[in-house]
Amino acid sequence: MQLLRLTLAVIISTTLFTACKKDEKKDDTYTCTTCKSTPDALAANDNTSKGVYKGTLIGSSGTIMFNIMNGVSNISAILTVDGISATLTSTATWVSGQPFLATFTGTWNNQPTSLTFAVAADGTNPTITAYTIYGHPTVSFYLYKELSTAQVRVFEGTYSNTLPETGTFNLVISGSTWSALGRKDNSTSTSTAGGAFVNNQLIGGNPIVTMGTVNGDVVTGTFLNNNGNTVTINGHRTL
């Protein structure tokens, strides 16, 4: 499994996301009726490994949310892949001031499923170090810790370019930063991108430009990559 650790600096795949310029894409009126408008995370957990972690997965496509004793006494996760959701649980013990490691188990799509989650004592560097998801052997994940002051929003969608090429494009936004995963159809290789989120704009690329716009629960964008191919992204918020 490919583990993904992105910093606040822009991280761009030269084959998919490296942008030279951006054109406008029309808005969409889609609204995520199940998405919340404020953070789930409690302020008391902002600097600990307790709290809420949200992210995306690719290969297929989906979302993941971990609740580590965020106002409750238990530890759980909700995994959604291809529109099918499952609640996973863990018997791990949380210890104040210590890194947290837990294996979550349950049943997804009537098959045994597990995720092993790790995070530093202060809630930084959340990762999934191992997984078993039936029918999905090459999954890549990206997670953010949600803060009481910075809600994490997850968008799932697609990209296309003028090679021609099509694939999955998933986006995670937290406060003033964003990170994305992309995968070409019928491929097992994941491309990554990230940058600044300013005034509802996804800022990234090399040279740095606006790569997309978030309008409510919709993300759209069109730009040229460094190979001169026009790339178009479209996505809807799902978490």
The residue-averaged pLDDT of 9-24 equals 44
**pLDDT of 206 higher than 80:** no
Rounded Cα distance, 80 and 61, in Å: 8
Mean pLDDT check: name the lowest of 2-6, 126-130, 194-198. Answer: 2-6
Is 15 in contact with 159 (CB distance < 8 Å)? Answer: no
The predicted model gives 28-55 an average pLDDT of 96
Nearest to 192 by CA among 20, 22, 21, 56: 56
DSSP string over 182-217 = EEETT----EEEEEEEETTEEEETTTTEEEEEEETT
Tell me what percent of the residues of the chain surpass a pLDDT of 90.
82
Q: Strand, coil or helix: what is 45?
A: helix
Task: Tell me if the pTM is above 0.85.
Answer: yes
The one-character DSSP state at 17 is: T
pLDDT band of residue 28 (cuts 50, 70, 90) is: low
Partners of 193 in beta bridges? 12, 180
Which range (48-52, 159-163, 204-208) has the least confidence?
Answer: 204-208
Select the highest-mean-pLDDT range: 3-7, 9-13, 21-25, 194-198: 194-198
For the cut 70, the answer to whether the pLDDT of residue 201 exceeds it is yes
